[in-house]
Chain A
């Protein structure tokens, strides 16, 4: 009987070997190992054996055969499963370079890109971002900034005036803001010091468009008002900004200049790693008259302000030769960035 069992085992293993699908393996599983299966049949015949020893030996042989066949079936199942997955993967081949078409994402305006980069740098330096209206009162745009009626510096702004006159008011007192500085005044009037803000925004001048001028352009303005703010703090803040925005190889300097709304006033220049200088913007200690106009006591608080052009940052970064191209809204231009 043991010989029969061995023969049946061998035959079963051959069948398992030849099974060519998972379904065939499942059918074999039932036929060979099931309760009505070929090997189970030997178990039922054990009772017909004479001796206990014979029964024991044959029973052991049947169990071994069943285990061997079960293991073979499991191995064959794994083998075929793996092959089926491989076949599926092979059949699913895609050429991904067919999907390398142009990206569909839209393009942020270069001014926005520079604007947000600047905002992020100043946020990192502890500044908040303030905003204000683009149509402004003469008072916010000039008078509160220490440029009273007839101040000669007013003439340098090439102001655009609008015909808006509030009820009972007179025309000629409403302007398109010529700089972002009125946001300083609005911020000081709205909140108590300490004030650490930057004010990016759109500004207007009566300038004929050319490669480096637009009548509508963008500036960013900074204002700090706190206790014991000094000219050295201004120089240090400009330096910190220079490192953060341009990179560690850049440095900055202040040199004396004149603005009605700051005193002492300065121009600030950035030195490139090659030693050349870039004239960036104006800055200075907030003039006591401006603090007063903002409702702040200049004997208790002091502050500094600075400002420069955003458009120039944008065209410099991308080497745009003509400012007008940046405002043409030509999709072929926008798609480059």
Chain B
């Protein structure tokens, strides 16, 4: 909401626009009340050196088609010549002349710069060049009968002013009108509040534009007052200037007075030409599904039975309720009698219709937040008062039509307010007697006595209904800053949960391994998961920004593969990335089977690198899993990948990405990959390890090398050796793997170093021989052959 200070000052003495400190104080007051000041613009400043001048004659130079020569009189009787690129002025027009040496707002200084060797003694100005709006269509034409050679600001009535830009919250519809802002600020500053008090009209003979209110459940009140003696013409200059400052284009005195009331009282109004209003009255109903009408902006609107239509008495639509009038019902120059209409619509009706039509207007913005249904009479009188200034013969006819529907809010609303509750919420020590001075000035009337008071809620505050709403008003006008700052004495022990601590440890392990964290977009294109070799049901966004980002990921893998490809394309190879994030497969419960996952991708690395990462994680987090290479996870390399199996459910996957998938993602390097379901890995904390005494007796090492078929996992051989060796085995390490022609195509040599130690005695040669026999026997059962 743009607020012009000189206009606001109509309703109270708030600040002198030329007093910068006072302007700042006012802005701070508004912000402290919740009317956030987003911008403060000085307006109305004039450019020194620009004076009025009359066009004496115009001349075209034969060699310069895009400019013309203009001769002007700047009051001293001398004829001055200027070049001008605009052609909108005529001989006799008064125009602003920037004299030589003038510095324009854009920083340019006017010089005697000539064209074709002919000097220019100044520059004629367009409106925008003087900081007056954005119009650059031609030179600004000033009123004709003014003194020449005087500052243009004088003849335009310009004076220094301030334009505030307020960011209003949804709960303050009243502040969409100047009066609402002024009431709040006056109360806070202790300034006298002067709302407009239009005199009761001098009622003319009864004349009614009758109203038939059919849609009373959506339109709570619909009124019309007939006014005759209207002479359509321009509205007064002061009114035009204010409307322009508010961003509204002046149209004529009827429309401008209506708009002025809208801005002043936050109450949209509309004037219809009674002579062209079919049947001379109104009928308010919902639209038929598919019904069409052409709105003021020339658009054809298709309506539904959720929209309120204002029709004439012949049931022809002339406006969409609370949003915009129709093209055919505009005031024309010939209008002499108007039916002035003011209504109240339910906010939800206007919100839904304007959202669906994508049509937001000054009226809809106000109705959807909530207008005051009981300011309507004042608004009619104010409109008549303003229009009367330019229509001396205006007659306001008795016989107002005023139809009300069931959706009209009650005029009297009140709530009990306990001072104990005020203090409990705010942390203040107010007494019940403190309430009235804070609340009465903003129209919340306090009555009663004792610790609980009755507060009547003003009709312009539809957001307010309950005790807590009134407490907020108390806080605003008492001042948030005055409430103080205390810290609650938390009895809660601040800490990360076990899961959160384990997540941090996981991240530290990965970073320590040189892997960086990525956060790709969790929204995928419809075919991306299939490209990654991942099938299965997915969830889609029903209103995505783009279809390429419309599917919720069920795996972190595609995002990281894309990141690898992106980095490769920027000459960054060997990139190592991880992501810890949610994936969203559908489920059967109230919500999808969303879970937290980890994915690690190591570009340019082979499967053992992913195994190494898994070993570090398993060790750091105290978790384990069976490496089941018989179950190749989808989308991974068929002979270099395994499912990580913890218990019955797979807990992850390790290995390399399928080369076909890499091709589809345009990744050039090999990619080692590790994926974990973190609900499994982080969710359970292992029990603390229990102490075992370290043996005091010497240990002895035994090296055993076997050849074994490639079909049998090394893990199985190690397990067999452990079992065969028995209790004396304290450690086993696979220290060499060898493949060679001598061993045959499908066999390899696996060499283990087994450390033996007894808890209670020295080992004997017999002990070692016994272990060796046991281990070899167990290995042989797997088809392993002892070497050398």
Give me the interface of A with B, judged by CB distance under 8 Å. Answer: 104-109, 111-112, 116, 119, 122-129, 131, 133-137, 150, 152-153, 155-156, 160-164, 166-167, 169, 171-172, 174, 176, 194-196, 202, 206-208, 215-216, 224, 226, 228-233, 235-237, 239-240, 253-258, 263-267, 285, 287-288, 302, 327-332, 334-335
Collect the chain A residues with CB atoms within 8 Å of residue B513's CB: 106
Question: Which of A104, A226, A265 meets B488, CB within 8 Å?
Answer: A226
Collect the chain A residues with CB atoms within 8 Å of residue B369's CB: 152
Q: CB distance A116 to B169 under 8 Å?
A: no
* Least distance between A337 CB and chain B CB atoms (Å): 10
Q: CB distance A105 to B514 under 8 Å?
A: yes
Q: Contacts A232-B486, A255-B36, A302-B424; is A327 near B519 (CB within 8 Å)?
A: yes
Top 5 nearest A-B pairs (CB, nearest first) are: A230-B427, A256-B34, A232-B427, A126-B490, A258-B169
Collect the chain B residues with CB atoms within 8 Å of residue A233's CB: 427, 486-488
* Least distance between A153 CB and chain B CB atoms (Å): 6
Q: Contacts A255-B31, A255-B32, A266-B480; is A196 near B492 (CB within 8 Å)?
A: yes
Q: CB distance B591 to A174 under 8 Å?
A: yes
* Least distance between A172 CB and chain B CB atoms (Å): 7
- Does B631 reach chain A (CB closer than 8 Å)? no
- Does B618 reach chain A (CB closer than 8 Å)? no
Q: CB distance A105 to B34 under 8 Å?
A: no
Give me the interface of B with A, judged by CB distance under 8 Å. Answer: 31-34, 36, 169-172, 347-348, 351-352, 355, 368-369, 424-428, 466, 468-469, 471-472, 475-476, 480-481, 483-488, 490-497, 500, 504, 507, 510-523, 539-545, 549, 552, 559, 563, 566-567, 570, 572, 575-578, 581-582, 584, 586, 588-592, 594
Question: Which of A162, A232, A331 meets B575, CB within 8 Å?
Answer: A331
Question: Which of B469, B500, B592 meets A135, CB within 8 Å?
Answer: B592
Complexed CA–CA distance, A166 and B589 (Å): 6
Q: Contacts A163-B539, A216-B522; is A122 near B494 (CB within 8 Å)?
A: yes
Question: Which of B472, B483, B515 meets A265, CB within 8 Å?
Answer: B472
Q: CB distance A109 to B544 under 8 Å?
A: no
Q: CB distance A236 to B494 under 8 Å?
A: no
Q: CB distance B483 to A231 under 8 Å?
A: yes
Collect the chain B residues with CB atoms within 8 Å of residue A302's CB: 424-425
Q: Contacts A108-B511, A135-B552, A230-B425; is A237 near B368 (CB within 8 Å)?
A: no
Residue on A nearest B348 in the bound complex, by CB:
A150
Q: CB distance A231 to B475 under 8 Å?
A: yes
Complexed CA–CA distance, A176 and B584 (Å): 11
Question: Which of A107, A156, A216, A231 meets B517, CB within 8 Å?
Answer: A107
Q: Contacts A160-B544, A264-B472; is A256 near B480 (CB within 8 Å)?
A: yes
Question: Which of B351, B483, B517, B582 meets A109, CB within 8 Å?
Answer: B517
Complexed CA–CA distance, A159 and B519 (Å): 21
Q: CB distance B512 to A329 under 8 Å?
A: no
* Least distance between B310 CB and chain A CB atoms (Å): 22
Q: CB distance A328 to B566 under 8 Å?
A: yes
Complexed CA–CA distance, A195 and B582 (Å): 26
Q: CB distance B591 to A137 under 8 Å?
A: yes
Collect the chain B residues with CB atoms within 8 Å of residue A334's CB: 516-518
Complexed CA–CA distance, A224 and B486 (Å): 14
Collect the chain A residues with CB atoms within 8 Å of residue B511's CB: 105-108
Complexed CA–CA distance, A116 and B507 (Å): 11
Complexed CA–CA distance, A2 and B569 (Å): 93
Collect the chain B residues with CB atoms within 8 Å of residue A254's CB: 480-481
Q: CB distance B514 to A106 under 8 Å?
A: yes
Complexed CA–CA distance, A77 and B588 (Å): 84
Collect the chain B residues with CB atoms within 8 Å of residue A161's CB: 541-543
Residue on B nearest A103 in the bound complex, by CB:
B514
Complexed CA–CA distance, A164 and B484 (Å): 47
Q: CB distance A330 to B566 under 8 Å?
A: yes
Q: CB distance B468 to A126 under 8 Å?
A: no
* Least distance between B412 CB and chain A CB atoms (Å): 23
Complexed CA–CA distance, A331 and B424 (Å): 52
Q: Which residue of B33, B519, B543, B570 has the most chain A CB atoms within 10 A of its CB atom?
A: B519
